[in-house]
A and B are shown apart, each in its own frame.
Chain A
Amino acid sequence: MNRTIVISQILVIEQAPGWLVAALNHAIIAGVLLIGGAITMMLQVWVERRLIARMQDRLGPNRVGPEGILQSIADGIKMFTKEDIIPRAADRWVHLLAPIVALAPIAMMLAVLPWGRGLVAVDLEVGVLYIAAVSSISGVGLMMAGWGSRNTFALLGAMRSIAQLIAYEIPLIIALLGIVLLTGGMSLARMPELQAGIPLFGSSIPGAPDLGLGWFIFTPVGLLGGIIFFICALAEGERTPFDIPEADSEIVAGYMTEYSGMKFAVFYIAQYLLNFALAVLSAVVFLGGWQGPGVAWLADAGLGAAASLLSLLWLLLKAWGLFMLMVVIRAAVPRLRVDQLMSFAWKYLLPLALVNVASAALWVGLTEWSSIEWGNLLPVDGLAPWQRIGVAALVTAVINLGATRWVLRINRAPAAAPVVVPA
């Protein structure tokens, strides 16, 4: 933030009014984020197509530019030149606004994500809630697309998509809630700062080096929460195996059926941008964000800019790694049925997420409460912080593992179900 203020002060004359400087600041930050987002989206499409192709024993796009890296640009040009079709029965304005309503909130998500050490556009105190709120807006865009197209497939796709978004938003938010309990705040900018140190114990052991590896994923609460969150992120981003709203082999292309040209491209961009934003969010909340070996060392050595750069690289590495995981899962897993999708959200993820919140509360109690707060029932005061963390990790690991096994067992389908075939 401070650095960009300096940049815009160079750009404008010294006597520039304060609001102009502020507006320029915001414009620059927004521009960097949006251009970065667009480039990321193009790279994502290319990487996904190339990787999937290799997994399916093909080569993938390799004609436009070296190794086909400019394929997305060629696709974009093609999209621009396509005819923009609006069905005669469609509600013109709703049809036109739907892609915008779907894309805008996703671009808004990028604002609060911490991209590196000191690289936060807006440090919102309620960042986690903001992400949840804003990501739920794009559902309205999908509904507008489905309804505005006046097409049964489109409406069906929109309904499916909304049902899916609502069902998976709940475990997603509850999975985040566990981490909010751990960190004691909803600011996304603070989350990576709390994940310094060494795995599991963080910075609690005196004298241990700051490797930047105190990621929440190494704690039992964070592990279960991270898995739930990632699965829900797949569903929110409509990635396979949860791509039921699009399901081009069943309902044409869902809510995108009646879209062509740039409007279709906007939906496409929205989807990939959402995938990337969710990957970054997973990385920030569970994988330490920009924390990584070397960042703290560089910062201590007084090389603040180098530390920021390295931290940005760490974050992008993690986010791209998660995106690759999404690609691999897409290549490996078939699409779920609607009933499977719903039962997975409500019968598996939701109970596990609730148990995880309880585990997180227990973790906070075991690591931070004093004996008096426990009503002198637990003599926790005598333990060193790392010992308390060890005890908490053990207890929550047992709880989470037990809950997972229990949920899997009670939901197990009977091994053999008789099917009566009329003779």
Chain B
Amino acid sequence: MVTVIFIAIASLIIASAVLVVISREIVRAALWLIATFFAVGALYLLLEAEFIGVAQVLVYVGAVSILILFAIMLTRQHERHEPAWRAGPWWIALAGVIGLAAVLITTIGAVPWRLTDDDLPVSRAPQLGTALMREYLLPFQLAAIVLLVALIGAVVIAMEERRRRTPTLADDIAAQRGAADRAEDGTP
């Protein structure tokens, strides 16, 4: 039963990941990416890492993918299709990647894994929380700072500079009105 579920999830992950890479339409690729994230979250649930699974869905599906979709929609004015990747020498990349996969899989098969017989702790989320607050307090805080920096950085990078923006009609009117006000102030 669990094997069947695992195979189903694994094939979903691989199929959607492949579609992410080969989809020509970028929004389709993004939607397949969301499917991949979701399936990976399901795999975490199957591995009994509920917290990570739910966090995966919350962060990836709920936040990152929305961010991606927003970015696509803000940049899709001119090209809905990116140039076909088949145009380039993609077979070199494919050969290299297949070689890497072969090396990795042989290694995985060759390593004698020391599987554990320990039972899983019953309550895992509090354990995780305690670990974050004790052993990993510094990385935790650093992660918070990284997030803050990323937030501010993203805002600063993506923010449209006012003077570089093409003036709109409203801007023109505001400018004219400002000039008129200044002229009025000068006369009395």
> Closest CB of chain B to A16's CB: distance in Å?
14
Size of the B side of the interface (Cβ < 8 Å), in residues, is 28
Q: Interface of chain A, helix or strand or loop or mixed?
A: helix
Of the candidate stretches A26-34, A130-138, A213-221, A343-351, the one touching chain B is: A130-138
CA distance A130 to B41 in the complex (A): 11
Chain A residues, Cβ within 8 Å of B69: 140, 143, 147, 162
With contacts A19-B1, A147-B27, A162-B70 taken as known, whether A139 is within 8 angstroms of B62 at the C-beta atoms is yes
> Closest CB of chain B to A129's CB: distance in Å?
5
Nearest residue in B to A155 (C-beta to C-beta)? B73
With contacts A132-B58, A134-B57 taken as known, whether A126 is within 8 angstroms of B31 at the C-beta atoms is no
Verify if A422 is at the interface (C-beta below 8 Å from B).
yes
Of B27, B57, B65, B124, which one neighbours A94 at CB under 8 angstroms? B27
Q: Are A186 and B125 in contact (CB under 8 A)?
A: yes
With contacts A166-B66, A422-B177 taken as known, whether A133 is within 8 angstroms of B27 at the C-beta atoms is no
Verify if B20 is at the interface (C-beta below 8 Å from A).
no
1/0 per residue, CB under 8 A from A, across B137-157: the answer is 000000000000000000000
Of B55, B66, B73, B123, which one neighbours A125 at CB under 8 angstroms? B123
CA distance A169 to B66 in the complex (A): 13
> Closest CB of chain B to A196's CB: distance in Å?
22
Nearest residue in B to A169 (C-beta to C-beta)? B62
Verify if A189 is at the interface (C-beta below 8 Å from B).
no
Chain B residues, Cβ within 8 Å of A391: none
Q: Are A159 and B73 in contact (CB under 8 A)?
A: yes
> Closest CB of chain A to B37's CB: distance in Å?
10
With contacts A126-B125, A134-B57 taken as known, whether A147 is within 8 angstroms of B73 at the C-beta atoms is yes
Verify if A124 is at the interface (C-beta below 8 Å from B).
yes
Verify if A352 is at the interface (C-beta below 8 Å from B).
no
CA distance A420 to B57 in the complex (A): 50
1/0 per residue, CB under 8 A from B, across A171-201: the answer is 0000000000000011000000000000000
Q: Are B50 and A126 in contact (CB under 8 A)?
A: yes
Chain A residues, Cβ within 8 Å of B54: 126, 129-130, 133
> Closest CB of chain A to B131's CB: distance in Å?
15
CA distance A113 to B25 in the complex (A): 39
Q: Are B57 and A140 in contact (CB under 8 A)?
A: no
Chain A residues, Cβ within 8 Å of B28: 91, 94
Chain B residues, Cβ within 8 Å of A133: 54-55, 57-58, 61-62
- Which of A125, A129, A132, A143 counts the most chain B CB atoms within 10 A? A143
Chain B residues, Cβ within 8 Å of A166: 63, 66
1/0 per residue, CB under 8 A from A, across B68-92: the answer is 0110010000000000000000000
Verify if B9 is at the interface (C-beta below 8 Å from A).
no
Other A-B contacts than A94-B31, A129-B51, A162-B70, 11 sampled, CB-CB below 8 A, are A91-B25, A125-B51, A133-B54, A133-B62, A136-B61, A136-B62, A139-B66, A140-B61, A159-B73, A169-B62, A185-B126
Verify if A277 is at the interface (C-beta below 8 Å from B).
no
CA distance A420 to B73 in the complex (A): 38
Q: Interface of chain B, helix or strand or loop or mixed?
A: helix
1/0 per residue, CB under 8 A from B, across A198-217: the answer is 00000000000000000000
Verify if B34 is at the interface (C-beta below 8 Å from A).
yes
The 6 closest A-B pairs by CB, nearest first: A136-B62, A133-B58, A133-B57, A19-B1, A129-B54, A133-B54
Size of the A side of the interface (Cβ < 8 Å), in residues, is 27
CA distance A195 to B34 in the complex (A): 38
1/0 per residue, CB under 8 A from B, across A353-387: the answer is 00000000000000000000000000000000000
Nearest residue in A to B123 (C-beta to C-beta)? A125
Nearest residue in B to A185 (C-beta to C-beta)? B126
Nearest residue in A to B50 (C-beta to C-beta)? A126
CA distance A134 to B38 in the complex (A): 10
Of A137, A155, A422, which one neighbours B61 at CB under 8 angstroms? A137
Of A125, A144, A147, which one neighbours B124 at CB under 8 angstroms? A125
> Closest CB of chain B to A393's CB: distance in Å?
26
Chain B residues, Cβ within 8 Å of A134: 57
Chain A residues, Cβ within 8 Å of B55: 129, 133
Q: Are A126 and B51 in contact (CB under 8 A)?
A: yes
CA distance A143 to B126 in the complex (A): 35
Q: Are A124 and B50 in contact (CB under 8 A)?
A: yes
CA distance A159 to B86 in the complex (A): 33
> Closest CB of chain A to B178's CB: distance in Å?
11
Q: Are B65 and A140 in contact (CB under 8 A)?
A: yes
CA distance A299 to B63 in the complex (A): 43
> Closest CB of chain B to A325's CB: distance in Å?
27
Chain B residues, Cβ within 8 Å of A144: 31
> Closest CB of chain A to B19's CB: distance in Å?
12
For window 373-423 of chain A, which residues contact chain B by CB distance below 8 Å?
420, 422
> Closest CB of chain B to A86's CB: distance in Å?
17
For window 21-56 of chain B, which residues contact chain A by CB distance below 8 Å?
25, 27-28, 31, 34, 38, 50-51, 54-55
